[in-house]
Amino acid sequence: MLLDALTLQLGYNATLVAIGAALLGVAAGVTGTFLFLRKRALVSDAISHATLPGVGLAFILMVLLGGDGRWLPGLLAGSALTALLGLWLVQWLSRATRLGEDAAIGAVLSVFFGFGIVLLTVIQTIPAGRAAGLESFLLGSTAGMLYSDAVVIAVGGLITLGLVILLRRPMILVAFDPGFAETTGIDTRRTDLLMMTLVLAVTVVGLKIVGLILIVALLIIPPVTARFWSDRSDHVVMIAGGLGGMAGYVGAAISATAPDLPTGPIIVLVAFAGFAASLMLSPGRGVLSSFLRHRRFQAAVHMRQGLLALAQEQPIYEPLTLRLLRRAGLVRADGVPTDGGRARAAKALRDERRWTVLRSMEAHEVAASLYDGLREIETVLTPDQVAEIDRRIGLPKGVKP
Amino acid sequence: MNTAEFVALTLSPLLISVLSAVTCALPGNFLVLRRQALIGDAISHVVLPGIVAAFLVTGVVSAWPMLIGAAGAAVVAVVLIEAVRRLGRIEPGAAMGVVFTAMFAAGVLALEQSDTSSVHLDVEHALYGNLESLIWLDATGWSSLWDPVALAGLPPELGRIAAVCLGVAAFTLIFWRPLKISTFDEGFARTLGIPTATLGIALVVVSAVAAVAAFDAVGSIIVIAMFICPPAAARLMTDRLEMQIAWSVGFAILSAVLGFILAGYGPLWLGGSNAVSAAGMIATVSGLVLALAAVFGPCRTRSGASAQG
């Protein structure tokens, strides 16, 4: 069943939804990356909630003009207008008053949404609005998606994607170093505004499929997930687009397999599953890899300290150190060093002495700064240099009995 | 409209909306000052999964399990946000966005999957509450206020929100000094021995309880609007925290009363016949109040000092 859905065998409507959701996911992931890198992810929350009054106003206007209130492009145009107003208000409140951007976002989000709800209750009372079903914009609804709706979504998604590709360089620059961007002649404020307009476009396009409450997730989760897999901005953008597209496609396919699996939430949960997996498993920043890295570091420190203690014939009480030394075959079960252990311990102590000498040599200041108690001195110096240091330390002296 | 009708149909939802507004505005002041305003946003989104989870566990729609479920979900969300932020080294805004949208989506999915057709539990209700239905049918006039039989018919939401309102006010009063100091200068507060981390969590929990109690009555929109708009407007009116709280309570009451009246009677004045969403209207009015404060407020700019001095 799921396989059928993934290979687009579940009928016309399911195919439309899956393709539309995939395109939307790509556009949202790519656009959201810039928003995330600019550390303004939650501005999208204000934008998306501010679309609701626009939908209501557009519906009322279209009905008053005698048309069909549910014409999708009209509704989307209306939602874009109020979202733009909301965006402008967020910028203005956080710039012109002492309120922080967070308060501005929260205020715009709740007030616009509240006003949108008022308009929805007004619409319920006008005769043509009885079956308007504008509530479907809250959480998205793909049940009755038309071919024309899918075209609107696809074209909107593609235009957004094209604009992002054109504008990616200034947006990256502004995201990482606004000051430097200014000096290279980029208008930071206009770039920010363009970025926000793209976010707005994605939001508006996504209203039909995932709804205005959850579109934020498509803008935030794929970029955050992609960030786990790369430190290069262009890679993050591409991975985020891929992840977003995949979440949209897989989510839409899963939701097509059963009647009571709403598309929007499923897409979001698929994206979140990707996030959770990346949080745990990503090689660089994942929880698992940092845990392993920590364990390796811990073992190296214990090993080193254990060897130094052996060389100086101090007793070792730390159980972890003893266990590590025993496992490496350097001490016996009763804590007495083996021959191998004695050799390694002597080497460790000599290395420590070599580092001390090295750090007193001004010529090797850079090499000496690499000292962290764990690094093998051979990785820093050539054999000649090590031999030079050994000459200063001197050879082992015989001890008279 | 005569008095009997007013007491029966208007008094109790009006009181509930005023109390909800005040309950949220009080902790909202500190959230706005600490730049944590969006915690309120996150909490109000995760209340839905909490309520659905409580329903799935108990199988009935009753107040206390849902309150506990919602408060639990708020705490889980805060913990998760913090965990994602620390483990993934992600900036707080994005961490919040990841967590609350995913939890909200899970809540919607669980709601669609479970058989809730027989009970009054749906997404719309969660978003904009059912303020209009919280009427006091047993009342026959002002005299009902002294009639124990009629008083027993008061909607239970009124008692709950009143209790929570008192609790939040008590929290603010009792911890006034540490809250104030740690909000403005966390380092100094720590040198005084104030447990700032615990206090921060306590503030979030109190906000969650306020949000849940108010949500129960008026839906999640008013909750976000009341957390942020009245305190933000008050912030633009004064430089003193005491005055700011007073202003914010005033603004909250004003928004609730004005919004409620406009929602109930505004359409009638304009020739319509049906009332519009009171919750939405209250949020709208609080936004207008904030807009006025942002344009005319004496302390609206960032320089700190007011125009006079």
Whether residue A233 is found in the same domain as residue A297: no
In 3D space, the residue among B182, B261, B227 whose CA is nearest the CA of residue B43 turns out to be B227
Instruction: Mention every residue, 6+ apart, whose C-beta is less than 8 A from residue A100.
Output: A94, B32, B35, B37
The answer to the question of residue A159 being in a domain is: yes
Return d(Cα B167, Cα B206) in angstroms, integer: 9
Three-state helix/strand/coil letters over A138-193: HHCCCCCCCHHHHHHHHHHHHHHHHHHHHHHHHHHHHHHCHHHHHHCCCCHHHHHH
Contact between residue B110 and residue B56 where contact means Cβ atoms under 8 Å apart? yes
More reliable by pLDDT, B155 or A252: A252
Confidence label for B244 from pLDDT (cuts 50, 70 and 90): very high
Instruction: Report the percentage of chain B scoring pLDDT > 90.
Output: 33
- What is the pLDDT at residue A267? 93
For testing contact with chain A, the best of B125, B277, B302 (most A CBs within 10 A): B277
Nearest to A118 among B84, B93, B276 (CB): B276
CB contact A217 to B (< 8 Å): yes
Averaged over A268-279, what is the pLDDT? 94
Lookup: tokens for A165? 């590709």
Residue ending a domain, among A215, A232, A265, is: A265
The answer to the question of residue B10 being in a domain is: yes
Residue ending a domain, among A265, A297, A318, is: A265
Distances from the Cα of A284 to the Cα of A36, A293, B68, B301, angstroms: 19, 10, 39, 44
Bridge partners for A337 per DSSP: A331
Calculate Rg over the CA atoms of chain A: 31
Return d(Cα A208, Cα A225) in angstroms, integer: 24
**Chain-chain contact of A287 with B283 (C-beta, under 8 angstroms):** no
Residue B307 has pLDDT above 70, yes or no: no
CB contact B301 to A (< 8 Å): yes
- What is the pLDDT at residue B60? 74
Averaged over B133-160, what is the pLDDT? 75
**Chain-chain contact of A36 with B94 (C-beta, under 8 angstroms):** yes
Whether residue A318 is found in the same domain as residue A171: no
CB contact B109 to A (< 8 Å): yes
Averaged over B17-46, what is the pLDDT? 90
CB contact A23 to B (< 8 Å): no
Instruction: Write phi, then psi, for A331 (nearest 5 degrees).
Output: -130, 160
Residue-averaged pLDDT of chain A: 86
The answer to the question of residue B161 being in a domain is: yes
Residue ending a domain, among A199, A230, A265, is: A265
- What is the pLDDT at residue A63? 86
CB-CB neighbors (< 8 A) of B83 in chain A: none
Contact between residue A24 and residue A255 where contact means Cβ atoms under 8 Å apart? no
Return d(Cα A169, Cα B226) in angstroms, integer: 40
In 3D space, the residue among A49, A17, A38, A89 whose CA is nearest the CA of residue A200 turns out to be A49
Residue B304 has pLDDT above 60, yes or no: no
Whether residue A203 is found in the same domain as residue A166: yes
Whether residue A189 is found in the same domain as residue A222: yes
More reliable by pLDDT, A383 or B64: A383
Contact between residue A44 and residue A210 where contact means Cβ atoms under 8 Å apart? no
- A30-54 core/surface letters (b: 16 or more CB in 10 A; e: else): bbbbbbbbbebbbbbbbbbbbbbbb
- What is the pLDDT at residue A131? 56
The answer to the question of residue A283 being in a domain is: no
Residue B155 has pLDDT above 60, yes or no: yes
Chain A, 28 to 47: residues with Cβ < 8 Å from chain B are: 36, 39-42, 44-45
The answer to the question of residue A278 being in a domain is: no
CATH number of the domain encompassing residue B143? 1.10.3470.10
The answer to the question of residue B77 being in a domain is: yes
Whether residue A27 is found in the same domain as residue A108: yes
More reliable by pLDDT, A186 or B131: A186
CB contact B115 to A (< 8 Å): no
Lookup: tokens for B277? 């969403």
CB-CB neighbors (< 8 A) of B297 in chain A: 97
Lookup: tokens for A166? 């054109």
Bridge partners for A331 per DSSP: A337
Return d(Cα A225, Cα A82) in angstroms, integer: 30
Identify the residue whose tokens are 């539990």: B121
CATH number of the domain encompassing residue A180? 1.10.3470.10
In 3D space, the residue among B96, B119, B140 whose CA is nearest the CA of residue B6 turns out to be B140
Q: Which range has the worst mean pLDDT, A244-248, A311-315, B56-60, B113-117?
A: B113-117
Return d(Cα A138, Cα B128) in angstroms, integer: 12
CB-CB neighbors (< 8 A) of B101 in chain A: 213-214, 216-217, 220-221, 268, 272
Instruction: Write phi, then psi, for A305 (nearest 5 degrees).
Output: -65, -35
> In terms of CA atoms, which chain A residue is nearest residue B304?
A98
Identify the residue whose tokens are 């509930």: B16
Q: Which range has the worst mean pLDDT, A188-202, A268-282, B32-46, B135-149?
A: B135-149
- What is the pLDDT at residue B258? 94
Lookup: tokens for B94? 């994005």
For testing contact with chain A, the best of B220, B284, B301 (most A CBs within 10 A): B284
Instruction: Mention every residue, 6+ apart, whose C-beta is less than 8 A from residue A169.
Output: none
Whether residue A148 is found in the same domain as residue A236: yes
**Chain-chain contact of B235 with A98 (C-beta, under 8 angstroms):** yes
Q: Which range has the worst mean pLDDT, A165-179, B19-33, B143-157, B205-219?
A: B143-157
The answer to the question of residue B119 being in a domain is: yes
Averaged over B143-162, what is the pLDDT? 78
Whether residue A255 is found in the same domain as residue A310: no
Identify the domain containing residue A367 by its residue range.
288-393
Q: What is the DSSP letter of B11?
A: I
More reliable by pLDDT, A193 or A273: A273
Distances from the Cα of B306 to the Cα of B33, B231, B251, B309, angstroms: 17, 17, 20, 5
Q: Which range has the worst mean pLDDT, A130-134, A176-180, A239-243, A375-379?
A: A130-134
Return d(Cα B127, Cα B123) in angstroms, integer: 6
Residue A271 has pLDDT above 90, yes or no: yes
The answer to the question of residue B263 being in a domain is: no
Instruction: Write phi, then psi, for A377 (nearest 5 degrees).
Output: -70, -25
The answer to the question of residue A338 being in a domain is: yes
Whether residue A86 is found in the same domain as residue A155: yes
Nearest to A217 among B102, B124, B273 (CB): B102
The answer to the question of residue B99 being in a domain is: yes
- What is the pLDDT at residue B117? 55
| Three-point CA angle A262, A213, A227, nearest 5° | 95
Residue A401 has pLDDT above 70, yes or no: no
Complex confidence, ipTM: 0.90
In 3D space, the residue among A151, A114, A101 whose CA is nearest the CA of residue B223 turns out to be A114
Return d(Cα A65, Cα B90) in angstroms, integer: 48
Instruction: Mention every residue, 6+ apart, whose C-beta is less than 8 A from residue B116.
Output: B55, B122
Lookup: tokens for A239? 């991975």
Instruction: Write phi, then psi, for A337 (nearest 5 degrees).
Output: -65, 145
Neighbouring CB atoms inside 10 A of A13's CB total 16
Confidence label for B268 from pLDDT (cuts 50, 70 and 90): confident
User: Minimal Cα–Cα distance from B279 to chain A, Å?
Assistant: 7
More reliable by pLDDT, A106 or B64: A106
Whether residue A140 is found in the same domain as residue A189: yes
The answer to the question of residue B232 being in a domain is: no
- What is the pLDDT at residue B176? 93
Instruction: Report the percentage of chain A scoring pLDDT > 70.
Output: 96
The answer to the question of residue B135 being in a domain is: yes
Lookup: tokens for B148? 């124990």
Q: How many domains does chain B have?
A: 1
In 3D space, the residue among A107, A74, A80 whose CA is nearest the CA of residue A93 turns out to be A107
Lookup: tokens for A139? 């959480």
Whether residue A94 is found in the same domain as residue A11: yes
List pLDDT tens digits, range A176-229.
888 898 898 888 888 888 888 899 988 988 888 888 888 999 999 999 999 999
The answer to the question of residue A363 being in a domain is: yes
> In terms of CA atoms, which chain B residue is nearest residue A42?
B93
For testing contact with chain B, the best of A33, A95, A97, A225 (most B CBs within 10 A): A97
Residue A337, classed as helix, strand or coil, is strand
In 3D space, the residue among A320, A379, A381, A321 whose CA is nearest the CA of residue A345 turns out to be A321
Averaged over B226-250, what is the pLDDT? 93
**Chain-chain contact of B94 with A224 (C-beta, under 8 angstroms):** yes
In 3D space, the residue among A150, A269, A195, A191 whose CA is nearest the CA of residue A47 turns out to be A195
Lookup: tokens for B57? 């566990």
Confidence label for B309 from pLDDT (cuts 50, 70 and 90): very low
Whether residue A334 is found in the same domain as residue A236: no
Contact between residue A113 and residue A52 where contact means Cβ atoms under 8 Å apart? yes
Q: How many domains does chain A have?
A: 2
CB-CB neighbors (< 8 A) of B132 in chain A: none
Identify the domain containing residue B30 by its residue range.
3-219
More reliable by pLDDT, A399 or A36: A36
The answer to the question of residue A273 being in a domain is: no
Return d(Cα A49, Cα A359) in angstroms, integer: 61
List pLDDT tens digits, range A128-179.
655 567 777 877 777 667 787 788 888 888 888 888 888 888 888 888 888 8
Identify the residue whose tokens are 């633009």: B236
Q: Which range has the worst mean pLDDT, A160-164, A336-340, A370-374, B217-221?
A: B217-221
Return d(Cα A44, Cα A64) in angstroms, integer: 31
Contact between residue B216 and residue B160 where contact means Cβ atoms under 8 Å apart? yes
User: Minimal Cα–Cα distance from A272 to chain B, Å?
Assistant: 6
